[in-house]
Each structure stands twice: as structure tokens, then as C-alpha cells.
Amino acid sequence: VKSPLDFKNFWYVACQSNELKGQPLARRILHEWIVLFRDDHQTAIALQDRCLHRQAQLSQGQCRKGQIQCPYHGWIYNGEGKVITIPSEGDHLEKLPPTKAKKYLTREQDGLIFVQLLENPDYPTTPFKMPHFNEAGYETVSLFNIFENNVLNCAENFIDVPHTVFVHNKIFRKSLNQKVTAVVERKNSSVVVNYLGETSNLGWFSWFLNPRSEPIEHIDTYYAPNVTSVKYGFGKKEFWISSQCVPVDDHQTFVYTYLTFKFGFFNKLAKPFVKYQGQSVINQDINALNNQMQVIKKYGALFLNSTADIIHQYIESLYHEISAGRNPQNISPQKTEIQFWI
């Protein structure tokens, strides 16, 4: 009998690498409370954030030479989650409990620390690799934001094109009543949307990104359950927006966004500009998604779909496979071409 798939089988970003230094860090992922710290090899450790003694939060304690000390009675845990010191027992090591704190798998990759809450032998997973991070010719600006909405609605928003002309009116795009054709494909637990014949709907970015109004390469991808990646190509220039959504609970999502670009000569110069504009665009989405979640809390997620929403219907179908404990990889491939106006 195979173990049913669970959202906990996937890897989620717990924090950025440079956030985890001399102090423990508390995080909540899928309702689980986690404390992070670095052991004496600087390896990121993730334990359940509760002391085995009387249940204090270890994250309120202190790091001690690669170990963590509970703030209540000072028990010290090593990177294995084993209690190695009980101050009130003096040096009576035989009094140390055999029980260990619950420990989660961690990986450090692309400047991020990932946690896996539950290993599934029938469904091995790996952290999503951020496209072109640290590659020659590419620069990355990283952003962190908290959305008061769930992972599904966040991920849908990050590859939703029709909202851009309203929520991001002028900054990002302007409405031209332009017809857009997209090939939408569901395969291998992802949804890939390839936009055809897009030219000049980038608002006032156009003068820089696409001065000659050449056809734009635009591919949006959703990787179930929690990652999206957007690629724009303008001749030799590239712009990638990769977002890792982390479910804190059913109503809150932490989002780690990498804006990765290859603008040639302008690369370094563009960084603060990209950061400022990227954050401005995200702030608009935070408002839109907060608005949406308030209504969902009141009336439920009663959605109607327009033509462009086939993208979201595919996303939801993959997500719901995981909710049902099934592997989204096994869902039938689908491919369709759609037209809509922005």
C-alpha cells in the first residue's frame, strides 16, 4: 500500500540563508511550529518548536555553540534534537532522556533554507531550483512578502494576466484591448502557459525592455503545489519572476520572490530599480489578494470562470489531486489554445 501524498511531502522555504545566524528563528508552515538554528557545522537544523520538558518554545531560547537552549529551565538540544544537558541534573548524564525532539529535513539551496515536514518514500521530492540564480550574466533581486490569502490563490495570481491591466494599471501593463493567444498545457504536475504574439503591453517598461516592439517570449509555469515561474524574453534580454509560496496556515502565505534578469550592460544598474518596481507591483497584489480572502472567509470560494481561467482550473485540478492524497503527476495531460483580451 502506498502512502497517500500530502502537502507536507513538499519542500517549503523556511527562511533566507542570511536570516539564520546566531539566533534561533521561529516559523510556521502548514500549521506546524518550527524552530531553526545552525549546528556547529553551520548546517541548518529544523526542530518542532517545543521543549520536551514542559513545552516552552525553543525559538524563544538561545543558540549555544551550534546547540539550542530552552528559555524555561535551560535544557540544551543538539542538532539531532537530542537533549545533551539538563542544568538541574548537574553532570549526571544518565539522567538525560532517550527521547529526541522532532526533527525535520532541511536543505540549503539558492540562498534559501528549505524544510520538508514529512518524507514520503513513495513520492520523493526536491526543493524547486530557482531559474538562473547565480548564473553568469544574470542578476537576482530577492523579495519577501506576507499575503493574507492561501497558496492556491497566491499562485494563481502570480500567473494571472487579465488582472494586470487593472491591479497594475500603467505600472506594469496598460490596457490596449489587445487580443492575446495562449497555449495552455497541463502535464507533469505543472501548468505551462505559452503566450503567442505579445508585443507591447508592458506599460512604460517597454522603452527599456522592448524598445523595438519585437514579439515577446512569455511563458508562465505553475509547479504544483506552490511555485510559479514567469519568463519574459526580449531578444537577448530576459526577465524571470520566480515565486515560492509557503503555506503558514489556510489564510496566510509567505512568499519568496526572485526577480532574475539578464539585461547585459544594464544588469547592475537595474538592480535597485527592479527591486523598487517589483515591490510596488507586489504591494498591489497583496491588497487584491487580501480583498479576495476577506470575501472568501465570509462567503466561501465560489468561483465563476471566464476563458482565461482555464489556466486556474488546471492549477486547481492539480492542487486538488494533492488534497485528495493522489499524485498530480498521474492526472491526464491536457492542452488547449485560448484567446482573451487585455
Binding site for ligand FES (CB under 6 A): 51, 53-54, 56, 70, 72-75
- Give me the least distance between CB of 52 and ligand FES, in Å please: 7
Instruction: For the chain, give the longest Cα–Cα distance.
Output: 77
Please state, as a whole number, how many other Cβ atoms lie within 10 Å of the Cβ of residue 120.
17
Taking residues 234 to 273 in sequence order and writing x for each that binds Fe ion by CB under 5 A, - otherwise, the string is ----------------------------------------
At residue 224, φ and ψ (nearest 5 deg) are -65, 140
Nearer to ligand FES, 40 or 89 (CB): 89
The helix (run of H) or strand (run of E) holding residue 284 is: helix 267-299
Q: Which residue is nearest to Fe ion (CB)?
A: 285
- Give me the least distance between CB of 5 and ligand FES, in Å please: 35
Nearer to ligand FES, 99 or 213 (CB): 99
- Give me the least distance between CB of 72 and ligand FES, in Å please: 4
Binders of Fe ion among residues 275 to 294 (CB under 5 A) are 285
Residue 170 contact, options Fe ion, ligand FES, none, Cβ 5-8 Å cut-off depending on partner type: none
Q: Which three cell numbers stand for residue 142?
A: 530577492
Nearer to ligand FES, 74 or 235 (CB): 74
Of the candidates 118, 120, 105, which has an alpha carbon nearest to the alpha carbon of residue 1?
120
At residue 135, φ and ψ (nearest 5 deg) are -85, 150
Nearer to ligand FES, 101 or 318 (CB): 101
> What is the per-residue burial (b if ≥16 Cβ within 10 Å, else e) of 186-219?
beebbbbbbbeebebbbbebbeebbeeeeebebb
What Å distances lie between residue 187 and 167, 190, 226, 231, 310, CA to CA? 29, 5, 16, 18, 14
Nearer to Fe ion, 115 or 281 (CB): 281
Residue 285 contact, options Fe ion, ligand FES, none, Cβ 5-8 Å cut-off depending on partner type: Fe ion
Question: How many Cα atoms occupy the beta-carbon half-sphere of 217 within 13 Å?
Answer: 9
- Give me the least distance between CB of 84 and ligand FES, in Å please: 13
Nearer to ligand FES, 24 or 225 (CB): 24
Q: Which three cell numbers stand for residue 61?
A: 531560547
- Give me the least distance between CB of 56 and ligand FES, in Å please: 4
Residue 100 contact, options Fe ion, ligand FES, none, Cβ 5-8 Å cut-off depending on partner type: none
Based on the shown chain and the rule CB under 5 A, indicate whether residue 220 belongs to the binding site for Fe ion: no
Phi-psi region of 297 (alpha: psi -120 to 50; beta: other; left: phi over 0): alpha
- Give me the least distance between CB of 47 and ligand FES, in Å please: 12
- Which stretches of the chain bind Fe ion, using CB under 5 A? 285
